[in-house]
Amino acid sequence: MRMLSRAKRVVGVALVALLACLPCVVLAQDEAGGDAPTVAGTATVEELTDFRSYLMFGFSLVFVLIIGYLVVSQRRNAALAEEAEFLKKRIDELGK
């Protein structure tokens, strides 16, 4: 079960990393000459600036998701720490 849980975590991290790389891949496709604007092609500066705005939005969204998860998880950690502290005290009292 622990192995499975770890595997799930690894898959989760890999998905987040893929999500984080997605804008870069899109950018790379643009550079390769896709339909989206390219510097070498016919793109105007305005189009490129728009594209960079999408990139900024994408990355910011990824960071919000990751940091949001960390904050929620940390709250859970704190609640668990309190429970563990309480449990330890009870066990110590029972052991006396």
Partner 1 sequence: MQASKPSVAAGGGGRATFALHAVAALACLCALNWLVATKVPLHIQMLETSYLIFFYHFPSAILCTVFFTINAVFSVFYLATQKPSYDLHARVFAEIGLVACCIALATGSVWARMAWGEWWSFGDPRLLWVAIMCLSYAAYVVLQQFMEPGERRMRYAAVFAVAAAINVPLVKYAIQFFGENQHPMEMTSSDSSLKGTQWFGAFAFLLFYLLVYRWRIAKEKVRASIESSLSAARRIEEGRLA
Residues contributing to the site for partner 1 (CB under 8 A): 6, 13, 17, 20-21, 24-25, 27-28, 30-32, 38-40, 45, 48-49, 51-53, 55-56, 59-60, 63-64, 67, 70-71, 73-75, 77-78, 80-95
Structure tokens at 96: 């006396």
Nearer to partner 1, 8 or 73 (CB): 73
Residues whose CB falls within 8 Å of the CB of residue 41, separated by 6 or more in sequence, listed in order: 33
Least distance between partner 1 and beta carbon 40 (Å): 6
Of 61, 60, 57, 35, the closest CA to residue 49 belongs to 57
Least distance between partner 1 and beta carbon 11 (Å): 14
Radius of gyration of the chain (CA): 23
